[in-house]
Chains A and B, each alone.
Chain A
Amino acid sequence: MAELTAVLASTHHPFYLKATTAPPEERMPQADEWKRKVEAYRETLTAAEPDILVMVGADHFHQFFLDNYPTFMIGKQEKYDATFYNEEREFGIPKYVLDGDLVLSNFMHQGLLDEGFDFSFSHELKIDHSIICPIITVRPDADLPVVPIYTNIFAPPLPSPKRFWDLGRIIRKIIDAYPSDKKIAAIGTGHLSLELGGPRMFGEHGPDPEFDAQAIEWLSTGNIEAILENVTHESMASSGNATHGFMDLILMMGIAGPENADYVDQLDLYHTREMFMTWYPNKNDKMAEAAARSAAEAGGVTGPVYAAKAGATA
């Protein structure tokens, strides 16, 4: 059977590439620290030696619109073009062509249907920055085949937080049952508190630092009970009108299971807080050493982060 070697859940920040490749005189003060943290996070994936990436993201009205917006969708292609014109324009993200893995896409799709998740599917999916941002940060060579999974965190009505957790659990079950000797990593991005187009956007910090600290604790301790007790569509909206991307992080925790994370790092930026989290479901020495090295390099930790502690050091 296939081996799930790593689960990565992080925020996606489309300005990362621009911010860290700008000429020195135009660089934001945190650019070097941000780059160091991202490169350290990348090592936590490299150590898992993946052959295939199952990637979770959400289309931001780039391909899909309100005439037909999929709630959950899987790509089923040999190749995927990526990055739309307006993402190049606004974020300076380059175009990519990623390889797909049609066999795993088909296996995943059938498994999802069998388990009660009636997915939409696409044979002409173009990938947006929700999946290209983590390619840029954790696999910049873009040399591995991907299986893209999209969720609706964007166009209400949205599925419940519980549904995202359940979907993660099912994806894990399907990966574990995949008859292959390949190593698979699951990588998904979303958001902590985030505001777009409203009064709390582009502030000095994210719109709700308290939620961010709490969310990192819940995720890094695998505490799904606390999430389901405290996180609703309304509570996320009160933390910032685009905070619902947090549900993709709940999905990733669902893939990892109710377990402590093996690597946690974060960075308080203007507009939003970055979070970098990795679980190793089948941890070996090499992975543990990589996480420890990255934590030392970037100022992260190799286990859970609790809200009070994070607040005290922020």
Chain B
Amino acid sequence: MTPLLELSGITKHFGAIEALAGVDITLGHGEIVGLMGDNGAGKSTLVKIVAGNFAPSAGDMRLGGRPVRFGSPLDAREAGVEVVYQDLALCDNLSASLNIFLGRELTRGIGPLRFLDRRAMAARARELFAELKTNTVPGDLVKSMSGGQRQAVAIARTRLAEPKIVLMDEPTAAISVRQVAEVLELIRTLSRAGHTVVLISHRMPDVFSICDRVIVLRRGTKVADKPVSATSPEEVTGLITGAIEAA
């Protein structure tokens, strides 16, 4: 079976800074892969390349065996890549349901005369929130929400399409302990439904409790890529800090 996503030799320069130096990564169907590394290791840059925000300076991407080049987040989204950004990418001035549907709003009307179908969007948002077991209200403005509720909005957004890959940038960093378990459970649900999840996280327990595999980046290069069962939090910590060169 062809891997879902293959990245080979992905390199990214920002001026003189080399954020990524030839990274190779392969993702299988339905896998949960932990992507770890210290601040500045290149995790966010890698995510933004897969999500179509940046074009790589060099290197190739293949999705389902076919070479792809994302010129914009829209291209990536249409190819089946969804992202939960670290800052969640929410508009504070809009309601939860409008944030979920931003960029792919439901409309009704005749021909080219189309109007937002707020009711349908709110109804779908309510379903998604029910799946997530969150107390988020579709009509509430995001600016009035707690960190966990905001996270729920951002995660609900990825569930709108049937994505192939969901990239999650630190989804558990800013929410309460109780909600961490809920978010992790949701990630398992996504994976069971056949979606591939990439979990970018600083939290060792999260990665070790749900990931199949862990990839460690350090200063723009991949220093480890192995099944979670074949490593330990101690080894991964060593790899992140550089105490262990590579594994």
A and B: real partners?
Answer: no
